[in-house]
């Protein structure tokens, strides 16, 4: 279902709050559940912009035939803001609050300081390169620490919130040129937040290619589903391959290897995906989630070093009980393989990223990826000597 349409000219002031004017810069389209996503420039009342860009999730006025849908979208925004009060971690994008202006509701979120893993993987592919296995472990460790914080968060009375992100993928993890890593968009999160309106629809959330088998096949998830998704991301960083994107492996023989009960479960999942208007490719993803084997995992990870191979072998198990049981456990293992930063740390990640940037050249501009501040000037100085 498309987002509510906003017709806003570039440079328009959307609203003023907290001593800042929020100036519309770019429409990023639909975020999820009918919410619009904007980039805005935050300026002081004097016209300066010391805080730079922010992201705005927005929903329009509750009028006409769209009234019920707008109301549901607004409730989701309110839930995201309430949930964000319990998430305070440097690896999680901060939500600043909610503001109403001229019948529209906006949630104000930090703009990522870096670029999505999706963009960085595209850049690496343009250069004919892949990130190192250690870089994959490094990103995994940073995300695992953020998920540990979210999964173990409690409410004001100390009760577990049981947060599950449900949309960990290459589009919600951001890496900056200095090796900083952040997780964005808890807007699809499952939680035990008091007063939360539960969804009765079981469908893949986020990008289906990073969804756990249990999410795809049953719709029931817990924190271990986020860990599976992180495993898929780490595998793709290191190898360029996605576990659930293997249409050539879905032969009739492979499908026929499932029991009658398993095939019924797959067909029910496909029916739910169709009812939710999911992309047709999701059907192949569901079949793959139901049929991939240990041999498939071994083939995908056979050329990786032991630390990453062992970690992915646990993260990507079809059954949650066979995976890491908590983000805390995963984070501890990843820190071990990285030698607590002695083997590979933030400086090493920064060096790998800057080397990729130098190789990329004009591809950066073509992909709309920004260089770090000051880099262009230093390159100009080098070229004139």
What are phi and psi for residue 327, nearest 5 degrees? -65, -30
Q: What is the pLDDT of residue 103?
A: 82
Tell me, what's the pLDDT at 317?
98
Quote the pLDDT of residue 30: 78
Give the list of residues 6+ apart from residue 176 with CB closer than 8 angstroms, or none: 112, 113, 114, 115, 372
Q: Is 3.40.50.1820 the CATH number for 13-110?
A: no
CA distance 369 to 367: 6
Tens digit of each residue's pLDDT (9 = 90 or more) over 35-48: 788 899 998 888 77
- What pLDDT, on the 0 to 100 scale, is given for residue 2? 44
**What are the sequence ranges of the domains in the chain?**
13-110, 115-341
Can you say whether the dihedral through the CA atoms of 114, 332, 90, 59 is positive or negative? positive
Task: State the SS3 of 300-364.
Answer: HHCCCCHHHHHHHHHHCCCCHHHCCCCHHHHHHHHHHHCHHHCCCCHHHHHHHHHHHHHHHCCHH
Cα–Cα distance for residue pair 94/81, rounded to 1 Å: 10
Q: Does domain 115-341 have CATH number 3.40.50.10860?
A: no
**Cross-strand bridge partners of residue 116:** 174
Q: Which pLDDT belongs to residue 9? A: 86
- How many whole angstroms separate alpha carbon 233 and alpha carbon 291? 20
Report the pLDDT value the prediction gives residue 67, as an integer from 0 to 100.
62
Regions of the chain with pLDDT less than 50: 1-3, 200-201, 377-385
- pLDDT recorded at residue 155: 93
Q: Quote the pLDDT of residue 278.
A: 87
Q: Is 113 helix (H, G, I), strand (E, B) or coil?
A: coil
Q: What is the pLDDT of residue 47?
A: 73
The predicted pLDDT at position 187 comes to: 81
């Amino acid at each position: 279902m498309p987002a509510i349409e906003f017709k806003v000219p570039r440079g328009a002031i959307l609203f003023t709050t907290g001593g800042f004017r929020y100036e519309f810069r770019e429409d990023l389209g639909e975020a999820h559940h009918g919410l619009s996503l904007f980039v805005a420039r935050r300026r002081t009342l004097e016209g300066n912009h010391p805080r730079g860009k922010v992201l705005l999730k927005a929903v329009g006025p509750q009028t006409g035939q769209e009234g019920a849908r707008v109301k549901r979208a607004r409730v989701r925004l309110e839930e995201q803001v309430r949930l964000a009060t319990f998430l305070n971690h440097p690896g999680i994008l901060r939500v600043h609050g909610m503001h109403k202006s001229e019948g529209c509701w906006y949630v104000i979120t930090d703009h990522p300081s870096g670029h999505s893993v999706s963009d960085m993987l595209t850049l690496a592919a343009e250069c004919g390169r892949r990130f190192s296995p250690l870089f994959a472990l490094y990103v995994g460790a940073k995300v695992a620490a953020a998920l540990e914080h979210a999964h173990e968060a409690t409410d004001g009375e100390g009760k577990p919130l049981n947060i599950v992100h449900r949309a960990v993928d290459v589009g919600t993890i951001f890496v900056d040129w200095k090796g900083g890593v952040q997780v964005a968009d808890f807007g699809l999160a499952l939680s035990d937040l008091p007063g939360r309106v539960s969804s009765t629809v079981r469908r893949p959330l986020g990008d289906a290619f990073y969804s756990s088998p249990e999410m795809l096949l049953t719709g029931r998830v817990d924190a271990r589903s986020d860990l599976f998704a992180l495993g898929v991301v780490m595998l793709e960083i290191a190898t360029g391959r996605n576990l659930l994107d293997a249409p050539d492996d879905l032969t009739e023989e492979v499908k026929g290897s499932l029991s009658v009960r398993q095939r019924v479960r797959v067909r029910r999942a496909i029916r739910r995906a169709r009812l939710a208007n999911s992309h047709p490719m999701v059907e192949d993803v569901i079949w793959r989630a139901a049929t991939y084997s240990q041999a498939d995992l071994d083939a995908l990870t056979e050329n990786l070093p032991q630390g990453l191979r062992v970690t992915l072998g646990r993260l990507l198990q079809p059954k949650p009980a066979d995976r890491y049981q908590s983000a805390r456990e995963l984070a501890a293992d990843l820190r071990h393989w990285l030698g607590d930063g002695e083997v590979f740390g933030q400086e090493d990640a920064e060096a790998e990223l800057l080397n990729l940037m130098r190789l990329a050249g004009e591809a950066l501009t073509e992909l709309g990826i920004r260089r770090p501040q000051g880099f262009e000037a230093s390159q100009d100085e080098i070229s004139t000597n």
